Amino acid sequence: MHVLIMSFGTRGDIQPYAALAGALARAGHDVTLAVPEGFADLIPHSGPGTITHQPAGSTMLRLLQEVMPDLSGPLDAWRTLGIMSTAMRELNAECWAAAQAAHPDVVVYHPKCLAGQHIAEALGVPGVLSLPLPFFTPTRAHAMPFFGGASFGAWGNRATYGFRRMAGVMYGGMVNDFRREVGLGRIGHLADPLRNSDGSSVHVMYPYSRHVLPVPADYPPSAHVTGYWFLDDVDGAAWEPPAHLADFLAAGEPPVYVGFGSMGFGKGANERRDTILAALRVHGLRRIIATGWGGITPGEAGTEDVLVIEGAPHAWLFPRVAAVVHHGGAGSTAAGLRAGRPTLVVPFPGDQPFWGTRVHALGVGPAPLPARDLGTGLASSLGALVHTDSYTSRADEMGAAIRAENGLVVGVHVLEQITGVTAVGQ
């Protein structure tokens, strides 16, 4: 089986798909991975199958990295969409070039790669939508995640999934331009992304744990909740920490980690840094602060109890800390839960309030603290995080359950079932 995998976004949007590529190669399949050049270091070692990297979306990633530090929040981010349109068209073209070079048997695509479904149709192969968030498949069990943890009753919850068509409304012209370029007919701007042009259902793979969010009873057979896809499960390469990080961890009790990853809303970064330092100081906690893409201002900590770093692999760092505070991205949430660490989510936009609500519902951390309330609420939430014994015990249980899963094996099996192709020797 030759699988084309395409994804775009921040590290958390790429890492699971690099992990899937590695798992497929380990199973004997060949993979073409279309992701930005800046994430080439995430591509795992192949064998016995092969992994070919086709750079896609590098210009758009560069624009994001340049723009994010100057944003003050989601509204500013929304206003940048206009300057991204040329780069988005370039991403579509690069994904199509990767597809033509690969001749795949199946296309796995993150929804940020707008051309994914249409590339599969043009090639005449199955297309599999995938993201670590239950965003597309309607259910009565919970509302679309962009409504946070809100519930509108069984039918109201299901109705919220009509918003999954909004990408077609926003980018329908761009999509139809692409379809014309590859020889396909136009589609309506409100076309259902879960329906192929022949009316058949689009398969969706959701790489998150059913222990974190149970699989709804009304999910169709085309919706596959596989379990998380962790990159280190594939590559196994040991990360060597810099000396200052290793020395800090060895010098005392496990610290609390605070970091907001790629949520680089740089306006207010100084205030966030001061607020975090003050709140941690109230409780006498050793702390590691990760600056990420600019959401927290870097600089000297001014005390031996604080270490400021740009970042470190969560899979390596989180098992070595006492608790984690982060923005609630799907990848950060998965890493913290697998490590069995009590978690406080400080959500910014998108799906992050949803995962923060899940963390609290699972009993592994306090209620999510909105980013706008960081100044007034962080000290109190941190106190609850580190002094509530039930959070620690429940986090231990959740970590053990997640570590017992193997979402990558399930993901490979799903693709083999969809294509009817297994690796030689299986």
Better-scored residue on pLDDT, 350 or 318: 318
What are the tokens at 417? Answer: 């079932």
Q: How many CB atoms lie within 10 A of CB 326?
A: 28
> pLDDT band at 291, cuts 50/70/90?
confident
> pLDDT band at 87, cuts 50/70/90?
confident
Three-state DSSP at 132 gives coil
Q: Are 250 and 241 in contact (CB under 8 A)?
A: no
What are the tokens at 291? Answer: 């600056």
pLDDT of residue 312: 87
CA distance 399 to 376: 30
What is the mean pLDDT of the segment spanning 322-348?
94
Query: What percent of the chain has pLDDT above 70?
Result: 88
CA distance 254 to 158: 43
Reported as a single tens digit per residue, the pLDDT across 173-225 is 999 999 999 999 999 999 999 999 999 999 999 999 999 999 999 999 999 99
Reported as a single tens digit per residue, the pLDDT across 359-381 is 999 999 999 998 888 888 999 99
Residue 297 pLDDT > 70: no
pLDDT of residue 236: 43
Tracing tokens 């810099």 back to the chain, one arrives at 242
Q: Are 343 and 359 in contact (CB under 8 A)?
A: yes
> pLDDT band at 294, cuts 50/70/90?
very low
Residue 262 pLDDT > 60: no
Residue 304 pLDDT > 50: yes
Q: If you ran DSSP here, which 8-state letter would residue 238 be given?
A: P
Q: Are 56 and 90 in contact (CB under 8 A)?
A: no
Among 265, 282, 262, 259, which residue's Cα sits nearest to residue 378? 282
Can you give the pTM of this predicted structure?
0.91
Phi, psi of 44 (to 5 degrees): -75, 170
DSSP string, 342-356: -EEE---STTHHHHH
Q: Are 191 and 168 in contact (CB under 8 A)?
A: yes
For the chain, list the domains and their CATH numbers. Answer: 2-228+405-419 (3.40.50.2000), 237-403 (3.40.50.2000)
Residue 235 pLDDT > 50: no
What is the mean pLDDT of the segment spanning 33-44?
92
Residue 34, CB-side half-sphere exposure with 13 Å CA sphere = 30
